[in-house]
């Protein structure tokens, strides 16, 4: 239970994938009706849409478009694959610019069988190739470290320390770190590395959910805050002590919740936000 008294939802943000059954149009209406103030849009929700219009509609409904999910997936077995990845990330910058999203979340990628160190080098090179265009568009890039269980295919960046190291290496003021409790809660260096991110003004975003026991699906069985073993209020406290005052983003992939009434689920999210975040 969080000791803080929260009186409003001004910092509550929802990822469109959290309510996967809803299209962007339906999500816009339903989030607004539920009093959401922030939204992170996943790129699939923009397929076939006028992206500028999607952003305008979200803002007209009272929400801030906080980030676009997701860029990244830089490593590849050959140069053509790595070039295609950079091109896709440049496209993501165009999309974020059209949408009016100031941040792109990077799920950095990995190639099965390729040494992780090599993948991390390719990730740094890939980000470096996108930085100028992102800066010109006024868009920040946030490296989201993923839990090590995804090190084979989804990300060779598995700790916040590795993300901070890449930021140090590239030294760009619009490159930073995204902290997702699901990926990082187990890390004994989490607090000290959050402090390090804060000192260098790199704390760009904060994603919350919970880790269920037993986890039945390593991708799509995330829990609502308070439903698992992650001390979300403690990590939030570390974030805020390090200077973070942005949105608390609820990002839940869950077959269980996607099968339920999404309007009810949104109410469950609000309750969990107040009680367990
Ligand atoms: Zn996340």
Q: What's the CATH code of the domain at 133?
A: 3.20.20.150
Residue 234 covered by a domain: yes
| Distance in Å, CA 152 to ligand 1 centroid | 18
Residue 5 covered by a domain: no
Domain containing residue 148: 12-276
Instruction: Give the count of alpha carbons within 13 A of 251, CB side only.
Output: 25
Q: Specify whether the CB–CB gap between 230 and 183 falls below 8 A.
A: no
Residue 3 covered by a domain: no
* Whether residue 5 has pLDDT greater than 50: no
Beta strands in the chain (DSSP E): 12-15, 38-42, 64-72, 103-107, 140-143, 175-180, 203-208, 248-250
| Distance in Å, CA 235 to ligand 1 centroid | 14
Q: What six digits make up the tokens of 130? A: 């996108």
Q: What six digits make up the tokens of 84? A: 């295609």
* Whether residue 3 has pLDDT greater than 60: no
The pLDDT of residue 8 is 84
The pLDDT of residue 4 is 47
174 exposure class (CB count in 10 Å sphere: 0-12, 13-18, 19+): middle
Distance in angstroms (rounded) separating the CA atoms of residues 12 and 83: 36
Overall domain count for the chain: 1
pLDDT tens digits, 76-126: 999 999 999 999 999 999 999 999 999 999 999 999 999 999 999 999 999
Tell whether omega for the bond before 70 is within 30 degrees of 0, i.e. cis: yes
The pLDDT of residue 193 is 98
| Distance in Å, CA 227 to ligand 1 centroid | 17
Residue 32 covered by a domain: yes
The pLDDT of residue 7 is 57
| Distance in Å, CA 15 to ligand 1 centroid | 9
Q: Specify whether the CB–CB gap between 24 and 46 falls below 8 A.
A: yes
Angle at which helix 160-170 crosses helix 116-137, to 10 degrees, equals 60
Residues with Cβ < 8 Å from 67, sequence gap 6 or more? 40, 41, 96, 101, 102, 103, 104, 105, 142, 205, 249
Q: Specify whether the CB–CB gap between 146 and 107 falls below 8 A.
A: yes
Distance in angstroms (rounded) separating the CA atoms of residues 149 and 186: 12
pLDDT tens digits, 141-198: 999 999 999 999 999 999 999 999 999 999 999 999 999 999 999 999 999 999 999 9
| Distance in Å, CA 5 to ligand 1 centroid | 25
What number of helices (H) and strands (E) belong to the chain? 10, 8
Residue 183 covered by a domain: yes
Residues with Cβ < 8 Å from 223, sequence gap 6 or more? 209, 210, 211, 212, 252, 254
Tell whether omega for the bond before 214 is within 30 degrees of 0, i.e. cis: yes
Distance in angstroms (rounded) separating the CA atoms of residues 134 and 96: 9
Q: What six digits make up the tokens of 217? A: 């699906």
| Distance in Å, CA 42 to ligand 1 centroid | 11
Residue 71 covered by a domain: yes
| Distance in Å, CA 251 to ligand 1 centroid | 6
| Distance in Å, CA 144 to ligand 1 centroid | 7
Q: Specify which residues 69 forms β-bridges with.
A: 42, 105
| Distance in Å, CA 237 to ligand 1 centroid | 18
pLDDT tens digits, 204-247: 999 999 999 999 999 999 999 999 999 999 999 999 999 999 99
Q: Specify whether the CB–CB gap between 104 and 142 falls below 8 A.
A: yes
pLDDT tens digits, 23-82: 999 999 999 999 999 999 999 999 999 999 999 999 999 999 999 999 999 999 999 999
Predicted TM-score (pTM) of the model is 0.96
How far is the first Cα of the chain from the last one, in angstroms, to the nearest whole number?
Answer: 8
Residue 52 covered by a domain: yes
Handedness of CA 97, 98, 101, 105 (dihedral sign): negative
Distance in angstroms (rounded) separating the CA atoms of residues 177 and 191: 14
Confidence of residue 132 (pLDDT cuts 50, 70, 90): very high
Residue 87 covered by a domain: yes
Residues with Cβ–ion distance below 5 A, ligand 1: 180, 207, 251
């Amino acid at each position: 239970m969080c000791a803080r008294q929260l009186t409003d939802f001004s910092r509550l943000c929802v990822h469109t994938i959290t309510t996967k059954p809803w299209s962007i149009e339906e999500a816009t209406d339903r989030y607004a009706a539920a009093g959401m103030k922030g939204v992170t849009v996943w790129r699939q929700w923009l397929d076939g849409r006028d992206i500028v219009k999607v952003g305008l509609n979200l803002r007209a409904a009272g929400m801030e478009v906080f980030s676009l999910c997701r860029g990244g997936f830089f490593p590849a077995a050959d140069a053509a694959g790595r070039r295609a990845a950079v091109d896709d990330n440049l496209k993501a910058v165009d999309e974020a610019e059209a949408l009016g999203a100031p941040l792109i979340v990077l799920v950095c990628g990995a190639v099965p069988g390729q040494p992780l160190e090599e993948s991390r080098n390719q990730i740094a090179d890939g980000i470096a190739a996108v930085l100028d265009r992102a800066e010109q568009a006024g868009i920040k890039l946030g490296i989201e470290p993923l839990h090590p269980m995804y090190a084979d295919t989804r990300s060779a960046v598995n700790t916040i320390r590795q993300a901070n190291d890449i930021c140090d290496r590239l030294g760009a003021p619009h490159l930073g770190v995204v902290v997702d409790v699901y990926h990082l809660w187990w890390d004994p260096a989490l607090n000290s590395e959050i402090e390090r991110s804060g000192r260098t003004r790199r704390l760009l975003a904060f994603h919350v959910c919970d880790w269920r026991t037993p986890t039945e699906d390593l991708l799509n069985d995330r829990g609502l805050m308070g439903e698992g073993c992650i001390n979300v209020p403690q990590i939030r406290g570390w974030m805020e002590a390090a200077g973070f005052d942005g949105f608390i983003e609820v990002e839940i992939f869950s077959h269980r919740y996607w099968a339920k009434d999404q309007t009810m689920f949104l109410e469950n999210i609000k309750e969990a936000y107040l009680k367990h975040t």
